[in-house]
Amino acid sequence: MAVRILWADDEIDLLKPHIMFLEQRDCKVDTINNGSEAIDMVRENPYDIVFLDENMPGISGLEALSEIKRLRPNLAVIMITKSEEESIMESAIGKNISDYLIKPVNPNQILLSIKKNIDKSRLVSEETTSSYQQEFRKIGMRLMDRLDLNDWKELNEQLVYWELQMDKSEDKSMMEIFEMQKKEANQLFARFIEKNYLSWLNGTSDETPILSHTLFSKKIAPFIKEKSTFLIVIDNFRFDQWKVLKPYFNELFDVEEEETYFSILPTATQYARNSIFAGLMPSEIRKRFPSKWVEEEDEGGKNNFEEDFLNDQMKRLGIGLKTSYTKITTNQKGKKLVDNFSDLLKNEFNVIVYNFVDMLSHARTDMEVIKELADDDSAYRSITESWYKHSPLQEIIKKIHESGQQVIITTDHGMVKVNNPIKVIGDKSVNTNLRYKLGKNMSYNSKEVFEIKNPDEAYLPKLNQNMRYIFAKEDTFLAYPNNYNYYVNFYKDTFQHGGISLEEVLIPIIRLNPK
């Protein structure tokens, strides 16, 4: 299809060689010599791109630009000028110019600008497809190796990189190939966790990753002793979501450290986040704080004592900083914290737990509107970005930057989109989570789940002698046979957490310092 171009320049006759060059490359070019006619032509014709001289008699190029953008906000307009004045450049950029060229221009400059603005999505898609085709085999060969902790962290970052690149691509078939490779990676990662998890916890492994209960002492405590710090824990926050939000943070902060750590099992808030703040595994928390650990079957919130756990851990570590703890569960509470932000600056260490992403993931299950908006990982990332841009958290981050304090951002677990049901039979005492279950009377195919027959080995609460835990792997979810079809149809293609997948287990820890 020919690219339809409008070129407005008071010296348009001198540009005939450029126009012929474009017409030889399947472009249809209309020419005029003033800004008023340019506006009329845009009003009457569906152009793909406009080349607009800045210095024309009558209406200037900048004035014409304003009116053209009012008529066609998404039309690509390229400003061409003899002037190198910074104020003109800034004004053009402020009016959402697509490109800015200084005369004299050569035909190849013009062609490049067209390709950047008209063919960009196609060219990016083709380049992404070509590059991933080259990487596909390398990743596949790497999956065949015996991967260690660092290998899995690096491979996960690599997969996240390509997943974000695929968001820019129009090649759906290549995305399907990527999803197959990611599924294979998750299958092998689940085997890796099954083989090594208990040995990590019991000190019988040659290498042990940073886990939820060691995160604070190893990756947070050493830095809060050096400088006033804000710790922001965003509930249910995946590494790919961090990558999408990273550019917004880069505007204000230098990234001093960016890596992933391993969530404990279950990858659920009650277990993982309590472990972060207590510096203990769940059964150890239950033993040390018997009145503050809430069992699965008990009513009420299960993370109501995080501040107590944090203070206890800091005392054990010999950290005597003036500390605050704030949990944000609604937009209103976030706005209130922004209004009272100056109060936080009296402290040396401020902890903010932000629950919004977790609430969004549960809404994704329960609300049809959210289901429509976030029907895949790409859409979920997009919603996360949109939320952040309009959230009180962004205002909080800006105020932290103004205060000159460092920020540590982390989470307790991620979530995964589930597709494949696994039948589990259990009595009323079995919990309702879709990615993990615990109880004494459960029937299931042991090959389809990660089974912990002795909770003591995994430092998990044990309510009776025959109690066991099971965890869903990859993209599976645990479904009861009663009313099976309804249950499966309702929860299929929703985001869940509690089990074993790269998305749930390998989660971000980032340290930032203000620019």
Q: Is 221 exposed, middle or buried (0-12, 13-18, 19+ CB in 10 A)?
A: middle
Half-sphere exposure of 311 (CA within 13 A, CB side): 8
Q: In Å, how far are 190, 204, 315, 467 from 284, measured between CA atoms?
A: 25, 19, 17, 17
Tens of pLDDT along 450-501? 999 999 999 999 988 889 999 999 999 998 888 788 888 888 888 899 999 9
Nearest to 412 by CA among 320, 489, 498: 498
Residue 474, phi-psi category: left (phi > 0), alpha (psi -120 to 50), beta (remainder)? left
Sheet strand arrangement including 468-472: 436-439, 468-472, 449-452
- Evaluate whether 474 touches 501 at the Cβ level (below 8 Å): yes
Angle at 241 between CA 240 and CA 244, to 5 degrees: 90
User: Quick one: pLDDT at residue 57?
Assistant: 81
Pairing outcome for strands 494-496 and 416-418 = antiparallel
For the chain, which residues score pLDDT lower than 70? 1, 83-96, 119-126, 170, 357-374
**How far out from the chain centre does Cα 175 lie?**
18
Question: Among 17, 18, 15, 48, which Cα is nearest to 32's?
Answer: 15
pLDDT computed for residue 374 by the predictor = 67
| pLDDT in the model for residue 133 | 80
Q: Is 4 helix (H, G, I), strand (E, B) or coil?
A: strand
Tens-place pLDDT, residues 266-303:
999 999 999 999 999 999 999 999 999 998 878 778 89
Instruction: Return the structure tokens found at 503.
Output: 């998305």
Give the pLDDT of residue 200.
97
Q: What are phi and psi of 212, to 5 degrees?
A: -50, -45
**pLDDT recorded at residue 84:** 60
Say how many Å lie between the first and final Cα of the chain, rounded.
47
CA atoms of 433 and 270, how far apart (whole Å): 12
- Determine which helix (DSSP H) or strand (DSSP E) holds 147, and give its type and residue range: none
At which residue do the structure tokens 């003899």 appear?
82
- Residue matched to tokens 């900083």: 321
Alpha carbon distance 80, 100 (integer Å): 6
* Residues in the chain, total: 515
Give me the pLDDT at residue 40, please. Answer: 92
Are the C-beta atoms of residues 169 and 175 closer than 8 Å to each other?
A: yes
Under DSSP, is residue 188 helix (H, G, I), strand (E, B) or coil? helix
What digits encode the pLDDT tens for the residues 178-227? 899 999 999 999 999 999 999 999 988 889 999 999 999 999 999 998 89
**DSSP line for 80-120:** EES---HHHHHHHHHTT-SEEEESS--HHHHHHHHHHHHSH
Q: Give percent of the chain above pLDDT 90.
A: 55
* 248-254: long-range pairs with CB below 8 Å, 24+: 248/388, 248/389, 248/394, 248/397, 249/397, 249/409, 249/512, 252/397, 252/398, 252/401, 252/514, 252/515, 253/401, 253/407, 253/512, 253/513, 253/514, 253/515, 254/512, 254/513, 254/514, 254/515
pLDDT at position 66: 85
Most distant CA pair in the chain, distance:
91
What number of H helices and E strands is found in the chain? Answer: 22, 20
pTM of the full structure: 0.81
What integer pLDDT is reported at residue 173 of this predicted model? 77
Q: What domains appear along the chain, each with residue ranges and CATH number?
A: 3-118 (3.40.50.2300), 122-201 (no CATH), 212-416+504-514 (3.40.720.10)
The whole-number pLDDT of residue 159 equals: 94
CB 160 within 8 A of CB 467: no
What is the structure's pLDDT at 494?
85
